[in-house]
Amino acid sequence: MHRVLPSSLGEAMSPLASMISRLLRELGVPLDWADSQDSQVMVETVGRAAGVFFVENAAEATDHQGRKIIVAQDFVSRYDVKSVFGTGGVYPGGQMLVVVVFCRDIVSRALAEQYLALRNWFQSKTTALVGAMKIFAEG
């Protein structure tokens, strides 16, 4: 399944590029996937490795270009977010599943990695629904 993102969506997502880029990199997805829109890359790459996206300090963490990893600093401040972590997976049809957790406490990477089981559980419970186009159906 191949999907092309409209340029307006890409432009709208640009403020989130730092967080999304890091999330995909830490999940093991090659960043050129976005250019190819090849869902098989997602199935093959993310399907064989479960990584963890991890930001210990949501208010201060920056990428290699000095941009905030968590762009929505108003959200971080309003809800007193300390750490952010996530994981993801891919359904057989190429649809991507991402779980992102915002914490009011500082958590370690080791603790965040314990939540990999949450992704596995959710994906196992929803795979049949995705396959039957009950969720993530094209509109």
Which domain CATH number covers 26? 3.30.450
Q: Whole domain around residue 88: which residue ranges? A: 7-131
Residue 6 has a pLDDT of 38
* Domain count across the chain: 1
Regarding beta strands 83-90 and 96-103, do their DSSP bridges make them parallel or antiparallel, or are they unpaired? antiparallel
Average pLDDT over residues 114-123: 85
- Asked if residues 131 and 112 have their Cβ atoms less than 8 Å apart, the reply is no
* Residue whose entry in the numeric block shows the structure tokens 């196992």: 124
In a domain, 64, yes or no: yes
Average pLDDT over the chain, rounded to an integer? 74
Residue 100 has pLDDT above 60, yes or no: yes
Q: Which residues, 6+ apart, have CB-to-CB distance to 126 below 8 Å?
A: 91, 97, 135
In a domain, 136, yes or no: no
Residue 48 has a pLDDT of 44
Query: Counting every residue, how long is the chain?
Result: 139
Q: What band does 76 get if pLDDT is binned at 50, 70 and 90?
A: very high
